[in-house]
Each structure stands twice: as C-alpha cells, then as structure tokens.
A = this chain, B = another copy of it.
C-alpha cells in the first residue's frame, strides 16, 4: 500500500501522521525532537527512527515536511517565498532532500522582504493552506498564537502579508528571568480565561498598549504594596502580554475584517478571550487539523495518483 508520512517539524517538537491514499490517518507519532535540539545531520536519523517504528506493511517511502526542518539551521534550507503568495503554489516549491531510499520534500516558509518591516514564518504557511482549502473564499486576519504569534492577512487563498509578535517568548523570559520572577515565583498562569487578574491585565493592555513596558513593572509593585504574588501575578502578566499582542495586531484592522483564530487548547481560550475583550467575534480552527489538512493536500499535489 502506498502511504505518505506527513511531518510538522517545529522548533521544539516533532509530529508525524501516516496517511493512506484516501488521506485517512493510520498512525501518529510525537516527540520533543525539535530543531532546537538537533544538529543538521541528526534530522535524517531521527526521521528514520520514527519510520522504523511504524508497521512494515504500511511503512512509507514518501515524506512531506513543514516547519523549521527547512530553516537554515535545520535539515536543509527551503528558501522563503516572498509575499504575496498563493498558498496553492507552495507544494510545487517544496525542495527535495537527498536521502537514499526515501523521497523527502520540505515545504518552504514565507517572508515579508520589506526593508522596514521584514518578517518570516515557517510551518504556519501549511496551516494556512489547510485553512484556505476548507474555505477558499476566506478573507480576513488569521491569529496564530504561540511562542511567536503570527498575524496573517489572508485573502482568498493568497497571503498578503503578516507580522510576528514574540508574545510567548517574552512571557517566558519575563516570568522566569526578569525582576518579576520574585513576584511570580515558580507559579504558572491558571489558564482560566475568566480569572480576574488575567482579564484585568487584558483590559489594561488593550486600553493602553503603548504603555506595556510600564504596565509590566506594576506587577512587581503590586506584589510589594498589595501582596499580589504567585498565580494572580502570572495571570496578570499573561493578560498584559496577550492584550498588547491583540491590540497591536488589531490597531489597523477595520472592524469588518473577520478574525480567524488558529490555535489549540488553553492558548486558544486565552486569545479568544482577548479578541472578545477587544470587541471582535472570532471563528476558531484547531491548529492540528489545519496543518494535517495542508500537509495531506501537499502530498497529493507532489505525488499525484
């Protein structure tokens, strides 16, 4: 049976789905073997180890990959495609990776080559492809939260532009490495999008996003003066960072532009709350579904029946 392995290979995670000709998922594998843990010559052995663990009767020769495996510091560079980009053209732009008995392709990332506001992404283009396949007429702003949140202007299958906000990374740095660690301690946010500290942080940042760096110190002062430490302090920091992220992205987005939230789990809930607080209604799409749909389509285009 001809099968294909679909791989979403990010900075901190590896994920594989084994599909058959019809697109049905036969097996799934996950690990923490992301780009940040691998030297370039380790990608192939890691991939082969995952393939070897599959049932030999359905073990694939064909592998299509998206994400950081195509970065300069990844397995092999799949050069960025500058916007505007028709997502439908991405499968043809996949690079071939020499790998003996395997047929490995890596999908390219996207770039905004603008000198004043350069930007790049890898992996999200495949989620966007999945989203556009599901709704070819979609014309809106796509929020893709994460370590580096992406805000993408998608118009009928074409990516017009995008911008990246380092929200998740800044949250981690501030809570663990800055002065605020004394106030937050080892606590993680509650994950409750209705917690008073989270919603107060959202409201404060949405009302004055330009004052974000000033609002941050208020967490320290609130701990010293009012005993607001631990989980509520972590929740407030989360609310401030996500509120500022959303405020910055919506700043020049007219109210009649639909917002689509591509995310999973708690992060999806937190951004949905922030977008609601900013007066936007959102459509939610599961990120895992979107990337698998995009990879499945790419496989069908690369290896037509």
Contact = CB atoms under 8 A, between A and B. Distances in A.
Contacts of A116: 204
A165 B118 contact: no
B166 A118 contact: no
Contacts of A167: 213
Contacts of A214: 151, 163-165, 245, 248-249
28 contacts: A111-B225, A113-B225, A115-B222, A116-B204, A118-B221, A118-B224, A118-B226, A119-B217, A119-B218, A119-B221, A120-B221, A148-B179, A163-B214, A164-B217, A166-B213, A166-B216, A166-B217, A169-B179, A170-B178, A170-B213, A173-B173, A208-B251, A209-B209, A211-B248, A211-B251, A213-B241, A213-B245, A213-B248
Contacts of A39: none
B166 A177 contact: no
Contacts of A148: 179, 217
A275 to B, nearest CB: 16
A80 interface: yes
Nearest to A216: B166
B166 A247 contact: no
Nearest to A71: B224
Contact of A217 (B165, B177, B204, B209): B165
How many copies of the shown chain assemble into the complex? Answer: 2
A196 to B, nearest CB: 12
A214 to B, nearest CB: 5
Interface string A107-136: 000011101111110000000000000000
Interface residues on A, range: 35 or more
A244 interface: yes
Interface string A233-257: 0000000010011011101000000
B251 A210 contact: yes
A100 to B, nearest CB: 30
- Nearest 5 CB-CB pairs, A to B? A209-B210, A118-B221, A164-B217, A211-B248, A165-B214
Interface in A50-74: 72
A39 B173 CA distance: 25
A174 to B, nearest CB: 8
Contacts of A170: 178, 213
Given A165-B214, A166-B217, A209-B209, 20 more contacts: A72-B224, A112-B221, A115-B222, A115-B226, A118-B226, A120-B221, A120-B225, A148-B217, A164-B221, A165-B213, A166-B179, A170-B213, A173-B173, A177-B177, A208-B251, A209-B210, A210-B212, A212-B212, A213-B245, A214-B245
A72 B210 CA distance: 31
